[in-house]
Amino acid sequence: MTQPRPYLIAGGWRTSGDTFEVTNPYDGSVLAEVCRTPDDEVEEAVATAARAFEDTRKLPVHVRAEALAHISARLHERLDEVAELIAREGGKPIKWARGEAARAVSTFRWAAEECRRFDGEVLRLDTEPSLGARLGIVRRFPVGPVLSITPFNFPVNLVAHKLAPAFAVGAPVVTKPATKTPLGTLLLAELFLETELPGEMLSVIAVGNDKATELAGDERFKKLSFTGSSAVGWMLKSQDPKKYATMELGNNSGVIVHSDADLAHAAKRCAIGGNYQAGQSCISVQRVIVHSDVYDAFTTLLTQEVSALRYGDIMDPDVDVGPLITPEALDRVAAWVDEAVQRGAEVLCGGKREDPFYQPTVLANTEPDMKVVCDEVFGPVITVTRYDDFEQAIAMVNSSAYGLQAGVFTKDVGRIMQAHRDLEVGGVIVNDTSAFRADQMPYGGFKDSGHGREGLRYAMDELTEPRILVLSDVSL
């Protein structure tokens, strides 16, 4: 095996004698050993980020933008390598890993473009006689150093969504990737070091979740950007309630299929949307709510589409569904499906484990309080339920504790606008599923799905505060 992979402290690679293994979820092979970051060097990373902010916040736009463009270009040059890394460390089928790698290219490119046009505004303040001749200039300034914590399921592009907007606004970042998938973050750190950005602007720490809890309460971090489970996210935020926080948390996405929908298209998109990452995505399709008039026809089509999905070798370009990230995750998904079946749910397809996979599954006759309905499965499981009128469907989607994204299949403009108004989610995707995301769009949710928005310009807003300068007695 090669030498253990180092971690990054303030732009410099470090090693330690304490290591952990990164394994391929598909076959269990060891991909790398990574050095664990000791506490004193974590402290060094935090202290350096706090000191560096005084300089990084003043970096010229061209330095920031050119660095982001460089990372984007280098990711594009190494696209196949990045895709293979994503596939092997996270168990994501190569077809989807290639998509994630390409998205990371565009995430950094969008950040470079937004960095150049992230301007303020000018306000005339002579609007009342008592105000006099005044002019307001509003600019946005970074709030301070950022603590970034990322999950396993998008080991490159979700990290890109933390780093790119922070670099764009001039904020130093200490980032903690998931210990299951740290290699993508370390690759991005390599590309960061090729830029003209100060090394003190980035540290990548290889530590466990217990250390993340401690760091979330550190007042030197002025911003927490977290993607992960709802329980962990709210716990981390509670460590320092005054800290700015963007929380991208869980979901159990609902998709409405109305009677006028293109059923074949809806079935195909729901099948992919619930299984493309073995369901391990917070916007994965979980609850499909179908109008009674087309329920039987749609359910037949959906079952056919899901049954046709292939699971197996993640490097096979024809494989659609990969393994669950850990045996524990597989145990949990299997237990939840078994519990639903014992209570009367009907398995239309799948419903069995084939370690390290769980078969792509469709369940009917479920109840609202079953875990596969009311909680986040985070596995390849879709439930189907009937509704009779559109208002009922909206209420069923909204009955969830979550509110990240939802899909609506219909041709009726009135219903589309009603869904946009009434669905309690951060994004309504029309004639596609909740699983759609473009990296430049505002992305985030309500309720237990968190708060704040990512999507480059929106994330840059979240990392900054507006500050007004009022010029008095000026010629207008």
Mind telling me the catalytic residues? 248, 282
Residue type, 471: L
CA atoms of 161 and 182, how far apart (whole Å):
15
Which structure tokens are listed for 325? 């990230």
Which structure tokens are listed for 163? 């780093």
**Kind of pairing between the strands at 202-204 and 253-257:** unpaired
CA atoms of 28 and 380, how far apart (whole Å):
20
Measured from the Cβ of residue 225, the count of other Cβ atoms closer than 10 Å reads: 28
Which structure tokens are listed for 410? 């219909």
SS3 track for the chain: CCCCECEEECCEEECCCCEEEEECCCCCCEEEEEECCCHHHHHHHHHHHHHHHHHHCCCCHHHHHHHHHHHHHHHHHCHHHHHHHHHHHHCCCHHHHHHHHHHHHHHHHHHHHHHHCCCCEEEECCCCHHHCCEEEEEEEEECCCEEEECCCCCCCHHHHHHHHHHHHHCCCEEEECCCCCCHHHHHHHHHHHCCCCCHHHEEECCCCHHHHHHHHCCCCCCEEEEECCHHHHHHHHHCCCCCEEEEECCCCEEEEECCCCCHHHHHHHHHHHHHCCCCCCCCCEEEEEEEHHHHHHHHHHHHHHHHHCCECCCCCCCCCECCCCCHHHHHHHHHHHHHHHHCCCEEEECCCEECCEECCEEEECCCCCCHHHHCCCCCCEEEEEEECCHHHHHHHHHCCCEECEEEEECCCHHHHHHHHHHCCCCEEEECCCCCCCCCCCCECCEECCEECCECHHHHHHHCEEEEEEEEECCCC
